[in-house]
Amino acid sequence: MADQENNPQRGIMEKTRHKTTKPPMYKVYLLNDDYTTMEFVVEVLERVFGKGKVEATRIMLHVHRNGKGLAGVYARDIAETKISQVHNLARDNGFPLKCDMEKE
């Protein structure tokens, strides 16, 4: 009787085995600052994140007003590459523009 109650093998469902697992995705955010020009941020959103002019401008203004804004969502290595590209472009152009990533 005690056996039936306490047996840890009873009443436990088996886990479903899936063939594939999706990689975790990461949100890449642009951060506001006082020195980077709006024009440069729009250019970065077009070149690095593949946005059109209208969407790039919308995101840039959102960051300008709210401090932070979503530029895209990617697998980890792609997100890391985008961030490096932004930081390299910014440094090369003398701007302090930063971005970061957050696991979804």
Pick one of 32, 55, 70, 85: the residue that binds ligand TYC (CB under 6 A): 32
Rg (CA), the chain: 22
Distance CA 8, CA 43 (A): 59
Distance CA 66, CA 85 (A): 23
| Greatest C-alpha distance within the chain | 76
Rounded least distance, CB 30 to ligand TYC, Å: 4
Count residues contacting ligand TYC (CB under 6 A)?
13
| Interaction of residue 86 with ligand TYC, rule CB under 6 A | no
Residues 54-83 that bind ligand TYC (CB under 6 A): 60, 63-64
Token pair for 38: 């709006």
Which spans of this chain sit near ligand TYC (rule: CB under 6 A)? 30-34, 36-38, 41, 60, 63-64, 97
